[in-house]
Amino acid sequence: MAKADETRLRAVLDAIDAATLSQTDLAEAAGISRDSLYQYRMAARRPTPDTVRRIVKALKRQRQAIDRAIERLGKLGV
């Protein structure tokens, strides 16, 4: 595989990784347990305002990672 093709492939794989956020990953990034996140999603518990802020902050970081990956793909002509 040519170097340029390898670079493009790596960029696509990085973009897929950036777009794939599991509940476990989100919980870890927000500093909460996966079980707590699940309970919030099922409306079994209500997060505190601080917890909501941490979840939003983690989601924004994820969005920024996706934006960077897409920008990289664009620069590579993908």
Selected residue with higher pLDDT from 71 and 2: 71
Q: Which position has the token pair 């002509």? A: 77
Contact between 69 and 15 under an 8 Å Cβ cutoff? The reply is yes
CATH number at residue 25: 1.10.260
Please give the structure tokens belonging to residue 7: 């670079």
- Half-sphere CA count of 44, side-chain side, radius 13 A: 7
Report the C-alpha gap between 56 and 76 in whole angstroms.
30
Number of domains into which the chain is organized: 1
Q: Tell me the pLDDT tens digit for each residue of 26-69.
A: 999 999 999 999 999 999 999 999 999 999 999 999 999 999 99
Residues of the domain holding 46: 3-75
Looking at residue 32, its pLDDT comes to 98
For the entire predicted model, the pTM comes to 0.82
Name every residue whose Cβ is closer than 8 Å to that of residue 49 and which is 6 or more positions away in sequence: none
Given a cut of 90, whether residue 22 has pLDDT beyond it is: yes
